[in-house]
Amino acid sequence: MTRDELDAIGADLLAADEATDPQRLAAIAWWLYGEAGTAQAEVERLHGAIRSGRTSVPLVPALSRPAAPRT
């Protein structure tokens, strides 16, 4: 989740609270709960990949090598 998305959620939460809209507050809470579950599943997947020694994606980005000097 990006910083802009978090800021938008914060604004939605404030607007729903000011409007005393419990249904909107509940909808946002459930959405955040789902996002947290998705993030936790990704963390567990990465931990499993590290423990097994098999990863389908590099955990550390490959470093680019400097170009050979031109002579």
Residue pLDDT, tens place only, 2-59: 889 888 988 999 999 999 999 999 999 999 898 899 999 999 998 888 888 765 656 5
Structural domain includes residue 63: no
In-domain check, residue 13? no
Global pTM value: 0.57
Residue 9, Cβ density class (10 Å: 0-12 exposed, 13-18 middle, ≥19 buried): middle
Count of structural domains within the chain = 1
Render 25-53 in DSSP notation, one character per residue: HHHHHHHHHHHHHHHHHHHHHHHHHHHHT
Nearest to residue 27, comparing CAs of 40, 39, 12, 5? 12
Can you tell me the distance from the alpha carbon of 37 to that of 40, in angstroms, rounded to the nearest whole number?
A: 5
Query: Mind listing the pLDDT tens digit for each residue in 24-33?
Result: 999 999 998 9
Domain containing 38 equals 21-53
